């Protein structure tokens, strides 16, 4: 199934633009070309479980004074709203409580422009196991195997692939359209070397958390990552702690002797376990915000609320890991040298994923 989102952006005739996060320092012109300076929200939707209008997008940063001056009208009525900026998590969220309607004609009136969208009650609590990742130009065969692997081993109900402008989108839709949902997410990915100014992936993760995984469990693993774990153990840990983290082993590129390779063509990994860049499975309702490697809960106090990061060290499943396949790549970051050939003599054999891969 295909999902199109409802973005809101600053038009070209308005000179105001978002500036990169100051923590990232100087950014080259090449990196700036990948920075999102104009989108206010990536999607606007109705949370029919709470009767709320939700708009989610990158952090406003320097645009915050401008954005907070907007007015929100729903079916002709001006509505009160909250808009919270989370620069460290690279996201902003607008919410407005509404009375239930069949259709919601929404108008965002900014000082210099307005944006309109018509919405329905399309999304309710899923209570499902949801797998999600952002992807661009990955081989459709890789994505197909990735989906089948997680569905066969972890009982995944729904898969949401946030497509970041792939050239092979039509082939992807034809290959996996019956078993996965493809969300059009054609926003600037961001300057990859700048941690606080890349928004597409963190906003996609939180969009899935709040729009598609409500009431369920979210699996956060990229297309080049396969989890080696026990499903019952995962679900037990999530029930107790609301999140479980996993460390990884890198699977380097050992020449498979062919061009159309996939996961099962790589069976040697580094012996060292990588204890950074952990991934996770989480209770979607218990975690307020997430990033590629972290989760946060919202703590409410008498006069205020704040975010508290779940500490991964205390929540790692030491008996499980995920395999990160360096050869499963479009090589879009050549400086990382992922396709450098590594002799298998320095590696250990691990065919766990091959044994877990469904047949047929």
Per-residue pLDDT of 174-187, as tens digits, reads: 999 999 999 999 99
Give whole-number Cα distances, 158 to 197, 277, 297, in Å. 29, 24, 24
pLDDT band at 124 (very low <50, low <70, confident <90, very high): low
Q: Chain-wide mean pLDDT for the chain?
A: 95
Per-residue pLDDT of 11-62, as tens digits, reads: 999 999 999 999 999 999 989 999 999 999 999 999 988 999 999 999 999 9
Per-residue pLDDT of 69-94, as tens digits, reads: 999 999 999 999 999 999 999 999 99
Which one, of 292, 278, 262, 293, lies nearest residue 138 by Cα? 262
pLDDT band at 313 (very low <50, low <70, confident <90, very high): very high
Per-residue pLDDT of 229-254, as tens digits, reads: 999 999 999 999 999 999 999 999 99
Which DSSP symbol is given to 358? Answer: P
Percent of the chain with pLDDT over 90: 90
User: What are the extents of the domains in the chain?
Assistant: 2-120
Pick the more confident residue, 74 or 331.
Answer: 74
Which one, of 280, 277, 288, 266, lies nearest residue 347 by Cα? 266
The 3-class SS string of 178-218 reads: CCCEEEECCCCCCCCCCHHHCCHHHHHHHHHHHHCCCCCEE
Look at 114-123, 241-250, 259-268 and tell me which has the smallest mean pLDDT.
114-123
pLDDT at 125: 63
Per-residue pLDDT of 129-144, as tens digits, reads: 999 999 999 999 999 9
CATH 1.10.12: does it fit domain 2-120? no
pLDDT at 123: 64
pLDDT at 249: 98
Report the C-alpha gap between 220 and 95 in whole angstroms: 25
| CA angle, residues 251, 232, 265, in degrees to nearest 5 | 25
Report the C-alpha gap between 284 and 210 in whole angstroms: 8
Residue 196, both tokens: 């606080």
0.85 exceeded by pTM: yes
């Amino acid at each position: 199934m295909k999902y199109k989102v409802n973005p809101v952006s600053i038009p070209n005739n308005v000179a105001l633009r978002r500036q990169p996060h100051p923590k990232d320092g100087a950014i080259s012109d090449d990196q700036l070309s990948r920075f999102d300076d104009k989108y206010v929200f990536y999607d606007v939707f109705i949370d029919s479980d709470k009767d709320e209008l939700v708009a989610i997008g990158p952090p406003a940063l320097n645009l915050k004074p401008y954005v907070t001056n907007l007015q929100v009208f729903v079916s002709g009525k001006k509505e009160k709203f909250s808009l919270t900026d989370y620069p460290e998590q690279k996201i902003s969220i607008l919410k407005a409580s509404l009375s239930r309607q069949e259709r919601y004609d929404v108008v965002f009136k900014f000082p210099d422009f307005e944006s309109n969208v018509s919405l329905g009650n399309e999304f309710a609590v899923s209570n499902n196991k949801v797998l999600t990742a952002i992807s661009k130009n990955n081989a459709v065969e890789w994505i197909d195997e990735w989906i089948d692997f997680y569905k066969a081993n972890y009982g995944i109900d729904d898969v949401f692939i946030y497509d970041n402008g792939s050239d092979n989108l039509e082939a992807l839709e034809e290959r996996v359209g019956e078993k996965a949902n493809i969300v059009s997410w054609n926003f600037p990915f961001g300057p990859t070397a700048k941690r606080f100014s890349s928004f597409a992936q963190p906003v996609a993760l939180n969009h899935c958390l709040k729009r598609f995984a409500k009431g369920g469990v979210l699996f956060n693993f990229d297309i080049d990552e396969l989890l080696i774990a026990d499903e019952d153990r995962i679900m037990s840990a999530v029930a107790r702690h609301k999140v479980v983290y996993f460390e990884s082993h890198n699977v380097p590129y050992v020449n498979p002797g062919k061009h159309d390779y996939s996961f099962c063509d790589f069976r040697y990994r580094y012996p060292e376990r990588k204890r950074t860049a952990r991934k996770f499975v989480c209770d979607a309702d218990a975690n307020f915000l997430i990033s590629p490697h972290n989760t946060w809960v919202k703590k409410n106090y008498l006069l205020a609320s704040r975010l508290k990061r779940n500490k991964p060290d205390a929540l790692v499943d030491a008996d499980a890991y995920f395999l990160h396949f360096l050869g499963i790549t479009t090589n879009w970051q050549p400086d990382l040298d992922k396709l450098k050939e590594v002799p298998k003599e320095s590696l250990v054999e691990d065919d766990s994923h091959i044994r877990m891969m469904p047949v047929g």
